[in-house]
Amino acid sequence: MGEDVYVVGIDMIKFGRFPNKSLAELGSEAALLALDDAGLRIQDIEAMWCGNLMQANNMVGQQILQLIGQTGIPVVNCANACATGATAFRDAWLSIKAGVYDVVLAVGVEQMGKGLLGGAGGGRGISKEGLTGSMTMPAVFAEAGMEHARKYGTTFEQFAKVSVKNHHHSTLNPKAMYQIETPLDQVMNAEMISYPNTKLMCSVNVDGSAAAVLVSAKKAKQLGMKRAVKVRASILTSDPWQERDLVMPDVNSCTRLAAKKAYEMAGVGASDIDLVELHDCFATAEILHYENLGLCKDGEAGRMIDAGESALGGRIPVNVSGGLLSKGHPLGATGIANIYEVSTHLRGEAGKRQVEGAKLGMTHVIGLGSACAIHILEKAA
């Protein structure tokens, strides 16, 4: 099925708040970093996909090229709520698979406001039975967590431990927004946003950008396979009407469908995966996704966090980057930033937070509205 696709350059800026930079400036920084990482020039790029949510109608990709070099290449701007960056990456992947291009660039960039993640962006104006139309994001993910607690007895403390773990991971990641430990009592005693998620259990609104250079097998061989990462699966889903979770269709059914398809495409199972970057937009979400992605059986996510299985050094490290909870969550950039993190481990370049011997990794994002993207990536050489 089409050509094999490799990532040969990938990078992100340190997430933060940059009110004095333009969106295009932020995006161009990541684009140049990724090109530099690949050892390529802007003239080598044959097409570009740009993921940005908040200014999706504003030709952001073209603006970036106006800053770093206009060569006349095709530029597509795409938006898919919190799956925006991953969607840009996937469209770029399709274009290489089609044999139409050998070298393409995917950029994800977002400039957020301050404060907590509200109902803005992907969820705006969407009317559907249930949750996402009428509730803010914190309420949506609080209710999802409480439904898990009702079914399986998951505790406030278990949810809070997700945040303790991810904040700890972020102390080892110089590109995370925060590098601070948040002990369990601090997480549990932080301002309550929507039970059971306190302020330290909500993702951090930051500005950020990430970019990847995707190439054909032919080009990857030319450039040298040593640091190349092979895309083993690229899956995007929306809400399935049949067999869907009525409480959280966007989050649960969408992710389960994507995970099933991703494992099928890659020809691997959850037990083969060495690390996962998943969509911890709230601490409760990470708990749900352990089960949605098959990292543990249904109902065992609470036990999994208690046992430290998802911590660095554990059975299946999750969000070693610090995750959305501490690295930060610039919506359009997150999907590619996750792929950067996994790629960095597969290359053995993750420094103090390296997952030793990582050969296969998974990234996951969900956007309410609905879009779930999963990528399975493999060390190429």
Q: Name the pairing type of β-strands 47-51 and 103-110.
A: parallel
Residues in binding contact with its own copies, number by CB under 8 A: 58
Contact 39, 10 (CB under 8 A): no
Q: Which amino acid is at 351?
A: G
Q: Please pick, among 50, 78, 82, 202, the residue that the annotation labels catalytic.
A: 82
Residue 292 in the binding site for its own copies (CB under 8 A): no
**Out of 122, 208, 317, 330, the residue judged to bind its own copies by CB under 8 A:** 122
Residue 146 in the binding site for its own copies (CB under 8 A): no
How far is the C-alpha of 74 from the C-alpha of 283, rounded, in Å?
39
**Out of 144, 231, 257, 377, the residue judged to bind its own copies by CB under 8 A:** 257
The number of beta carbons lying within 10 Å of the beta carbon of residue 369 is 22
Burial 220-253 (b: 16+ CB within 10 A, else e): beebebebbbbbbbbbbbbbeeeebbebbbbbbb
Which lies closer to its own copies via its Cβ, residue 240 or residue 314? Answer: 240
Residue 323 in the binding site for its own copies (CB under 8 A): no
Query: What would you report as the CA-atom Rg of the chain, rounded to the nearest whole angstrom?
Result: 19
For the CB of residue 195, give the shortest distance to its own copies in the complex, in Å. Answer: 28
Going from the C-alpha of 256 to that of each of 10, 179, 263, 288, 372, the distances in angstroms are 27, 32, 11, 11, 9
For the CB of residue 348, give the shortest distance to its own copies in the complex, in Å. Answer: 30
Annotated catalytic, 329? yes
Residue 194 pairs with which residues in a beta bridge?
Answer: 197
Residues 20-49 that bind its own copies (CB under 8 A): 47
Please, what is the Cα angle at 237 between 232 and 238, to 5 degrees?
170
How far is the C-alpha of 275 from the C-alpha of 312, rounded, in Å?
9
Annotated catalytic, 82? yes
Piece of 138-146, 172-180, 201-209, 366-374 that binds its own copies (CB under 8 A): 366-374
**Out of 57, 114, 226, 357, the residue judged to bind its own copies by CB under 8 A:** 57
Residues 218-237 that bind its own copies (CB under 8 A): 235-237
Which residues, other chains included, contact 223 with Cβ-Cβ below 8 Å and sequence gap of 6+?
A: 8, 38, 39, 40, 215
**Out of 19, 114, 241, 269, the residue judged to bind its own copies by CB under 8 A:** 241
**Out of 28, 87, 194, 310, the residue judged to bind its own copies by CB under 8 A:** 87
Q: Which amino acid is at 58?
A: N
> Would you state the structure tokens that stand for residue 78, as one six-digit string?
């795409």
Residue 136 in the binding site for its own copies (CB under 8 A): no
- Nearest partner of 176 among 168, 184, 164, 185, judged by Cα: 168
> Would you state the structure tokens that stand for residue 317, as one six-digit string?
């490290």
**Out of 32, 68, 76, 135, the residue judged to bind its own copies by CB under 8 A:** 76
Q: Please pick, among 329, 345, 364, 375, the residue that the annotation labels catalytic.
A: 329
Residue 255 in the binding site for its own copies (CB under 8 A): no
Piece of 144-152, 166-174, 357-365, 368-376 that binds its own copies (CB under 8 A): 368-376
How far is the C-alpha of 296 from the C-alpha of 276, rounded, in Å?
13
Residue 357 in the binding site for its own copies (CB under 8 A): no
Q: Which residues are catalytic?
A: 82, 329
Residues that bind its own copies (CB under 8 A): 1-3, 47, 53-59, 62-63, 65-66, 69-81, 87, 90-91, 94-95, 97-100, 121-122, 124-126, 128, 235-242, 253-254, 257, 367, 369-371
